[in-house]
Structure 1
Amino acid sequence: MKFLWIAFIFFAYFAQLYLKKNMATSRQVLPTNVRPVHYDLSLRPNLTSFHFDGRVIVKLDVNEDTKVITLNAHELKLTSAKLQSSALKTQSSQEATDISYDEQKHIVTLTFAESVPAKSETVLDILFEGTLNDQMAGFYRSSYKDASGETKYLATTQFEATDARRAFPCWDEPSLKATFDVTLVVPSELTALSNMNVISEKPFQESGKGPNVGKHEGSQTGKDVATSTSVKEVKYATTPMMSTYLLAFVVGPFEYIEAHTTGEHNGESVKVRVYTLPGSTEQGRHALNVCTKALEYFAAVFGEPYPLPKMDMVAIPDFEAGAMENWGLVTYRTVALLFDEKASSLAAKKQTAYTVCHELAHQWFGNLVTMEWWDHLWLNEGFATWVGWLAVDHVFPDWDVWTSFVNEDMPRALSLDALRSSHPIEVAVNDPAEIHQIFDAISYYKGASVIRMLSSWLGVDVFLAGVRRYLHRHKFGNASTGDLWAALSEVAGVDVSKFMQLWTKNVGYPVLRVESVDDSNIEVTQARYLSTGDLKSVEDTTNWWVPLGVLTPDKVESYTLTDKSQRFAVGSHSFKLNAGQSGVYRVQYPIDVIKRLADEVRKPNNGLLSNTADRVGLVADAGSLCVSGEQTTSAFLELAQAFQNETEYFVWSQISTHLSNILSVWYEQPSEVKDGLNQLRRQLFSPIAHKLGWEFKPTDDYLTNMLRVLVLSNAGRSGDQGIVDEARDRFWRFVKGDNEALHPNLRGPVYNIVLKNANDEAEETSVWEEILKIYENETLTSDQRLAALATLGNAKSEALINRYLAMSLDEKQVRGQDSVYVFRTLGSNPDARNHLWEFFSNNYDLLHTKFSKSLSLFGIAVKSSVDGFVDDRRIEEIEAFFANKDTKEYARPLQQAIEAAKVNAEWLKRDSQAVQDWVKGYVARD
């Protein structure tokens, strides 16, 4: 028996080694016979023909004798490839005898007649050409309208994760870092930007050695052939060692505003600029101010100065993501960077500040030290999310961003991670098609949540000391998750890896079931939380180490749950687990404890739950556990009534989220049930809405103003007639030219209230047309236009819904990047779900082609079209539809959407009668 046990240990050990080796070798990576050291890249884009020519000269380390070189290229044509080496036997330069492409794997293989010996000084010289595509990937074109209304184009880049290969032949893997010299040949009247500062700018002289060799003999010197305008050559300083996905260049008619950091922590002042299309620069002032402060803050926090001489931030009209952290040249969606103090909403101000801080955090955590492979994406995104909020909290301490994190970001992570189709934070990535699918709530928000939990467990100062050690040790190189744990363990004096691997390598998180043993002791049992509520024993194998943080009237007792079940002394019958909501888990209390906590909520100072985050957490846990059936929905509705005297925005926001979720799932239930749920929402939100009123006073703080928007919106959506009448009056005054009638914070909510409460189809159409005019008004700020666009999806009329869907296919009406507003809004609109699914299924091929280069957008379309249903027959129809499709490129969002729909269907079956009974009793009482 002992022999068998030893044999099993050896088998497990070698199996693990095999799996690790096999996982690494199954990655689609390039051969290691050569490695790039330095790129000299020249590009000449043509913004009329949408063509570009290029030349890249790559200095190589030759690791073994070779005459075959394989590198990444996608949708490029290599017109010549030359290898130069002093070690060649015949002559120092040889042309490739064969250039072959594998379009599926995005690689090109160059074969040469003579082998180059290992360790020789070797340079690869490639001429190539490509297309400035319109798919927001690689080197692409983005459209805008000039002062006369004519459509024009600029050129920009988006290389993460694997699209640098669309712009130039390269070794497009994060661990293959090199330095870069960039030269851009562009029309003289345009601004050309890259990661580094400009070192020379002069009229372009055709020399036969530039990027257009063999292409433009006989052309006018210093002229662009297609446009006959003058052309300039712009050269940039050499970059630090960096990954290809962080290289960037932008060409367009930009204007800028400029500021400088204090230099207090960077050693010297850093020049910061915000670039916009003409006429919008002042809308970049908020981002500019945040940037100058955050750059100095991060230099202090990380113990490393920002290593580049400048930081440029550019607003791009067409942009797939929110922003991209290119080193020294961060690109943004226009709405994510620009903010107008007079015309934009407070929500837009907060989002801009956070996005800027998130991207600046990447300049250290991601750019200075880069993940060695995409398995460790969360190191980039999870950390930048956490430390981005850390910087926002530093710049805007009155925003209470950590309670905001508990209210918004953590629930996004926990909602997705409660599905079987979730994935671990550290997830194996082998095929490039898989990478974009893990840019999700797990990598960003669960990653940030476990970092917040770890920093609370160690102490923020200790945690940041470990981060400084990690950055210093690996700067200008690559690292893995294990490298971060090693640095933190050294500083903290504890084995961080033993704690954290349970959270990063395992899917899911626990729900803690609490039982009172007596007045002084509790028993806590952990099990994996699934929103399906049907956990199987084989799925419950992880023993998470869970920091409990037991809140009592006298103190917070710090315990750690390490077994499936343990007893702890709390010293009071009044307690709450997860003080401050720093832990990543749900808590299920017995009903008597819930009642005691509800009594605490009713106290004027909220008693034991005086910390806003604790009240948010109580609501979040109760609302989520009713989905899985571990608590009843009627119990949540009872708990919600305990908050009638609540005053804090974040608590009301969490209540609003869960009531909206219930109404969304109950959308096909009898009208008396839905009316009763809306009656509860009115009872909760209307009193404070009427108390706060419609006017924004100079003395009101940020959170008061956010609360005003939230409660007016909820009261109006639930049919408070006084609020609806006021909203209608203000709306019509606003569309007739009285801008003072609607504060920017309230415009989106009022559009929704008026559209939802239209008396008939004629009024609805009239309101809808006015909102459409607001969206089409290009003089308005981006956030205001997009608020109008999103609102259009809340129509009830089939004709209006179909018009809206048709708009999503027309790039002249809705940019491809903004189609997400169409799909998300319609997916959350019960009156539109069937129309959306029919539209999606009927236009599947068209939509898939439209987003073939932007599959994250297609994933959003899939999710929005699927996850709102609660009918088994519809879900079966959806599964059958996708059964014969190649879903590899969007498998995760599809699986998650179908599972979410099934979760809601089961929730409704389980609780529909109980909620109906509760509503009857509630209406009778009220």
Structure 2
Amino acid sequence: MCKSAIENPDRQVLPTNVKPTHYDLTLQPNLETFVFYGQVKVNLNVNQDTKSITLNTRDIKIHSAVLSSEGLKTESKQTATEITYDKKKDLATMTFAESVPANTKAVLDISFEGELNENMAGFYRSTYKDADGNTKYLATTQFEPTDARRALPCWDEPSLKATFDVTLVVPSELVALSNMDVVSEKPYSDTGKLTGKTEGKTEGKTEGKTESSSKSLKEVKYSTTPLMSTYLLAFCVGPFEYIEAFTSGEHNRTPIRSRVYALPGSVEQGRHALNVCTAALEYFAQVFGEPYPLPKIDMVAIPDFEAGAMENWGLITYRTVALLFDEKSSSIVYKKSTAYTVCHELAHQWFGNLVTMEWWDHLWLNEGFATWVGWLAVDNIFPDWDIWTSFVNEDMPRALSLDALRSSHPIEVTVNDPAEIHQIFDAISYYKGASVIRMLSSWLGVDTFLAGVRRYVHRHKLGNASTDDLWKALSEEAKVDVSKFMTLWTKRVGYPVLTVKNNNTGSINVTQSRYLSTGDLNEEEDSTVWWAPLGILLPEKIEPHTLTEKSQNFNVPADGLFKINAGQTSVYRVNYPIETIRVLGGEVKKGKGGLLANASDRVGLIADAGNLCVSGEQTTTAFLELAQAFVNEDNYFVWSQLSAHLSKILGVWYEQPEEIRNGLKALRRSLFAPVAHKLGWEFAENEDYLTNILRVLALTNAGRSDDTKTVEEAKNRFWQFVDGNDDALHPNLRGPVYNIVLGAAENEEEEEKFWEQILKIYRDEKLPTDQRLIALNALGGVKSKDLIQRYLAMSMDEKEVRGQDSLYVFGSLSSNPDARELLWKFFTEKFDILHAKFAKSISLFGNAVRSAVGGFVSLDRVAEIETFFADKDTKEYARPLQQALEGVRVNATWVERDHQDVAVWIKANAKNFA
């Protein structure tokens, strides 16, 4: 038993009487009956005398189990006398007549069958349309966290690493992929061995389910894998095409064959991802100090895929929109997301696959690190994208927003029951994990940090490790006890707000307390004293102070010109006195000549002020005043942060009087319309990436704020585009224009005309996936109840909207004030149907819960929602439900506290931004 299992006796783990060392697996999937047959021979080390062997299975029928051992007194083989199942715990126990002695080796030979399910988990089927429009199927896998057991009986725990020999028996015309390279491929003669026609079964026979004899089969064998966890095993079977490239071999000792696989006709859209892949593989070999350990890397676009991508060793699977990017027709916002997703999954090939967490408590080691180092690689490949300001603008806020709730959880969270695991694949594990790594690497120095990582990888390769193992390696490299202060960040929930007071003596007092967006912190919740690098930005330098106590004094210039958290590398909010905010606002207006020349500092200033007004530690009107200081801003990320907070205020104020909402729109319009008019609608070929996306952002905000010039041009270009002039709407602007024209429709008739045209665009299967999803998302931005009902009905029809994409529907309606009530009514009326629909993809259901609940701003609504869920078993989605409800309470308290103040401010300042 692993050390952490001993420390936590409540953890549900397998018995340790035997341990697997090697799997020899043969599978035959049938894409007509959706049954697969398998045989697995598992080499075992017998640790204790045993007559029974327990392993993981789910939705698997075991036909026979034969145990071979040289340690048996009589026959070397014995068939299981009984096979029992514990379906609640995903266990199968095989009992044998004769005990196998300890300290011997054995082979367990199991024949079995399972279903190619449609739940996007385990070994499952995915649909696509062929050239004639017929629905066809491919087979693929998703095993993380605990679904390898749906594909084969196995020891489905990350620390029970073994090697794997895989053989796939598939129709001859299809491509079959697995983790390793192909060593042989030959015609297969169906002997019945896999399909249940052999004798000696322990239970039941299955007849008549073999592949049609008219179809020829082939047997594909793959090389033996390195030692790896079951959740990283993978196979894909379908009519894939591929494009191929090789890495330079500079850091990998030999060029690595890299391929993108996709369905016929779309594979060339994988060129961007392939180029990123070959660059990143060499970069990671250099960063980690270890060559990529497999002979090839394949990346496959899968139509039905629950997550964004999965880092299976040597065979990374992706949701189509996360891998394929059409240089001519896709929106530029997907170019960065595709590059990042590829780099994130490739980082896992080392950090997660070569060195694996010992248990799911340490999930953040995989995901937080891969997030940070994934962006590190993107920054190396695309230096002009200003990736770390992007991180401050997008990723840190995701973490800090969730971690500001009482219903958050520590980065390292105890996991006992496998049913709990999917709930921690969230912004804390990914983005807070990445943020604290970025904070630590900035404090130690990136070179020192990466040297420690290389030490960690080299020490634990092909094995398992814990967070403490990483801290130990970093401490040895940096000559400082990293765990002493980092444990506070990984094992405690939340983060601090640093409240600054001017001492009027050329110094400031900084006091830390836990930040809660509810603003109602009690003494018991404020027990953590975080280690917080301050990095005080001064006109000529950065002072590298560190806050280690509850309250400390620090020297600053007498004129009060300073900013805490230079470069926004540390994880906290800063609450400045109003006079300091005004000084910093003045520096903003100076642009590049001011203290805040670094865009990350300006983003951080907005983010802190925008969130502190939610908690009541600053006023909403103070934020609105600060926003006006950015009138001359030219940086995309700064505008993006402003957009996020202004849109948030408008969303929360949706039940306030129309003149107040219009006033808030007018403020947003006064900021964004000049930028939109300056940049215009045309994209120059030599224009840089950040200017491109600023144009998109500015036009979106101007149009959604009823800027007449922008709305008229959007409608004009929309109808030109619908009439066949593709050049009228650049791919980057199609989504924004769909949203603008729907929001600016003058009546229901015009709204319906726009909606029907956008629906046609969504249904056009010739378009790149991202363009269709942009259209699908836009359809939720309507006022018409009839159209909202049609949209909701579409979400339940798999022929209209894939299950994985229904979340675009729910998310779009949740953000639409005119649709929230109808969405909640639909959710409650269809609850049982929705729960059944997502029963096997429970994280999707958790997101549906979040969308249905999270848009409201009323405490009465909280009571109604709690009453609805009172008699439901919420165990599998308890965390997203709690977080959504807490978010409603936060917003209800915020608008109740500040709505009158904002109303007065709007009336007093309306003339300034009319």
TM-score range (shorter-chain normalised) is over 0.9
Q: Does 1:700 align with 2:687?
A: yes
Residue in structure 1 matching 2:9, options 25, 35, 41: 25
Q: Does 1:775 align with 2:762?
A: yes
Measure, in 2, the Cα distance between the counterparts of 1:734 and 1:875: 44
Check the 8 A contact 1:43/1:211 in 2, yes or no.
no
Measure, in 2, the Cα distance between the counterparts of 1:245 and 1:604: 50
Measure, in 1, the Cα distance between the counterparts of 2:860 and 2:549: 42
Give the corresponding residue for 2:293. Answer: 307
Residue in structure 1 matching 2:657, options 657, 663, 670: 670
Residue in structure 1 matching 2:175, options 167, 170, 191: 191
Q: Name the TM-score, length of structure 1 as normaliser.
A: 0.96
Note the C-alpha offset of 1:445.
Answer: 0.2
Code of the residue aligned with 1:478 in structure 2: it is N
Aligned residue for 1:515, secondary structure, equals strand
Q: Does 1:722 align with 2:709?
A: yes
Give the corresponding residue for 1:173. Answer: 157
Check the 8 A contact 1:185/1:231 in 2, yes or no.
yes
Check the 8 A contact 1:511/1:527 in 2, yes or no.
yes
Q: Does 1:598 align with 2:585?
A: yes
Note the C-alpha offset of 1:206.
Answer: 3.5
For each residue in 1:473-512, what CA deviation from the matched residue of structure 2 results, as whole angstroms up to 9, or x when unmatched? 0000000000000000000000000010010000000000
Code of the residue aligned with 2:831 in structure 1: it is Y
Measure, in 2, the Cα distance between the counterparts of 1:365 and 1:649: 32
Q: Which structure 2 residues correspond to residues 43-122 of structure 1 after superposition, within 5 A?
A: 43-122=27-106
Residue in structure 2 matching 1:226, options 190, 212, 215: 212
Note the C-alpha offset of 1:216.
Answer: 14
More moved, 512-521 vs 842-851: 512-521
Aligned residue for 1:914, secondary structure, equals helix
Note the C-alpha offset of 1:225.
Answer: 3.5
Q: Which structure 2 residues correspond to residues 882-893 of structure 1 after superposition, within 5 A?
A: 882-893=869-880
Note the C-alpha offset of 1:605.
Answer: 2.0
Q: Which structure 2 residues correspond to residues 745-760 of structure 1 after superposition, within 5 A?
A: 745-760=732-747
C-alpha spacing 1:810/1:777, structure 2 compared with 1 (3 Å) = same
Q: % of aligned pairs identical?
A: 71
Q: Name the TM-score, length of structure 2 as normaliser.
A: 0.98
Residue in structure 2 matching 1:679, options 666, 680, 697: 666
For each residue in 1:124-160, what CA deviation from the matched residue of structure 2 results, as whole angstroms up to 9, or x when unmatched? 0000000000000000000000000000000000000
Note the C-alpha offset of 1:94.
Answer: 0.4
Note the C-alpha offset of 1:604.
Answer: 3.7
Aligned residue for 1:155, secondary structure, equals strand
Aligned residue for 1:642, secondary structure, equals helix
For each residue in 1:537-566, what CA deviation from the matched residue of structure 2 results, as whole angstroms up to 9, or x when unmatched? 000000000000000111100011000000
Instruction: Report the number of matched residues.
Output: 903
Aligned residue for 2:103, secondary structure, equals coil
C-alpha spacing 1:912/1:403, structure 2 compared with 1 (3 Å) = same
Code of the residue aligned with 2:414 in structure 1: it is A
For each residue in 1:490-535, what CA deviation from the matched residue of structure 2 results, as whole angstroms up to 9, or x when unmatched? 0000000001001000000000000111252111000000000000
Note the C-alpha offset of 1:200.
Answer: 0.3
Give the corresponding residue for 1:152. Answer: 136
Code of the residue aligned with 1:578 in structure 2: it is N
Q: Does 1:471 align with 2:449?
A: no
Measure, in 1, the Cα distance between the counterparts of 2:320 and 2:190: 36
Give the corresponding residue for 1:713. Answer: 700
Note the C-alpha offset of 1:209.
Answer: 5.0
Check the 8 A contact 1:48/1:226 in 2, yes or no.
no
Measure, in 2, the Cα distance between the counterparts of 1:347 and 1:532: 33
Note the C-alpha offset of 1:699.
Answer: 2.5
C-alpha spacing 1:216/1:69, structure 2 compared with 1 (3 Å) = closer
Code of the residue aligned with 2:574 in structure 1: it is V
Check the 8 A contact 2:111/2:194 in 1, yes or no.
no
Aligned residue for 2:510, secondary structure, equals strand
Measure, in 1, the Cα distance between the counterparts of 2:341 and 2:325: 12
Measure, in 2, the Cα distance between the counterparts of 1:351 and 1:338: 11
Give the corresponding residue for 1:5. Answer: none
Check the 8 A contact 2:60/2:152 in 1, yes or no.
yes
Give the corresponding residue for 2:321. Answer: 335
C-alpha spacing 1:91/1:624, structure 2 compared with 1 (3 Å) = same
Note the C-alpha offset of 1:90.
Answer: 1.6
Give the corresponding residue for 2:468. Answer: 482
Give the corresponding residue for 2:305. Answer: 319
Note the C-alpha offset of 1:20.
Answer: 7.6
Check the 8 A contact 1:224/1:231 in 2, yes or no.
no
Q: Which structure 2 residues correspond to residues 184-263 of structure 1 after superposition, within 5 A?
A: 184-207=168-191, 210=194, 214=198, 225-226=211-212, 228-263=214-249
Note the C-alpha offset of 1:867.
Answer: 1.1
For each residue in 1:734-788, what CA deviation from the matched residue of structure 2 results, as whole angstroms up to 9, or x when unmatched? 0110000000000000000001000000000010000000000000000000000
Note the C-alpha offset of 1:224.
Answer: 5.9
Residue in structure 2 matching 1:806, options 774, 790, 793: 793
Give the corresponding residue for 1:820. Answer: 807
Give the corresponding residue for 1:503. Answer: 489
Residue in structure 2 matching 1:562, options 506, 524, 548: 548
C-alpha spacing 1:399/1:672, structure 2 compared with 1 (3 Å) = same
Residue in structure 1 matching 2:596, options 593, 601, 609: 609
Residue in structure 2 matching 1:344, options 330, 333, 336: 330
Check the 8 A contact 1:44/1:212 in 2, yes or no.
no
Measure, in 2, the Cα distance between the counterparts of 1:697 and 1:499: 49
Aligned residue for 1:156, secondary structure, equals strand
Code of the residue aligned with 1:664 in structure 2: it is G
For each residue in 1:229-249, what CA deviation from the matched residue of structure 2 results, as whole angstroms up to 9, or x when unmatched? 100000000000000000000
Check the 8 A contact 2:28/2:194 in 1, yes or no.
no
Give the corresponding residue for 1:688. Answer: 675
Code of the residue aligned with 2:239 in structure 1: it is P
For each residue in 1:591-615, what CA deviation from the matched residue of structure 2 results, as whole angstroms up to 9, or x when unmatched? 1000000000011425000000000
Check the 8 A contact 1:98/1:110 in 2, yes or no.
yes
Q: Which structure 2 residues correspond to residues 207-606 of structure 1 after superposition, within 5 A?
A: 207=191, 210=194, 214=198, 225-226=211-212, 228-572=214-558, 573-606=560-593
For each residue in 1:235-291, what CA deviation from the matched residue of structure 2 results, as whole angstroms up to 9, or x when unmatched? 000000000000000000000000000000000010000000000111000000000
Give the corresponding residue for 1:854. Answer: 841
Aligned residue for 2:38, secondary structure, equals strand
Code of the residue aligned with 1:115 in structure 2: it is S
Code of the residue aligned with 1:565 in structure 2: it is S
Measure, in 2, the Cα distance between the counterparts of 1:313 and 1:606: 46
Check the 8 A contact 1:794/1:829 in 2, yes or no.
yes
Measure, in 1, the Cα distance between the counterparts of 2:301 and 2:67: 39
Q: Which structure 2 residues correspond to residues 131-142 of structure 1 after superposition, within 5 A?
A: 131-142=115-126
Measure, in 1, the Cα distance between the counterparts of 2:803 and 2:197: 35
Note the C-alpha offset of 1:698.
Answer: 1.7
For each residue in 1:772-809, what CA deviation from the matched residue of structure 2 results, as whole angstroms up to 9, or x when unmatched? 00000000000000000000011110000000000010
Structure 2 spans left out of the alignment, 5+ residues: 202-208
Aligned residue for 1:810, secondary structure, equals coil
More moved, 23-32 vs 535-544: 23-32
Residue in structure 2 matching 1:660, options 635, 643, 647: 647
Measure, in 2, the Cα distance between the counterparts of 1:23 and 1:686: 59
Measure, in 2, the Cα distance between the counterparts of 1:212 and 1:102: 23
Code of the residue aligned with 1:836 in structure 2: it is L
Give the corresponding residue for 2:608. Answer: 621
Measure, in 2, the Cα distance between the counterparts of 1:373 and 1:511: 32
Measure, in 1, the Cα distance between the counterparts of 2:720 and 2:831: 41
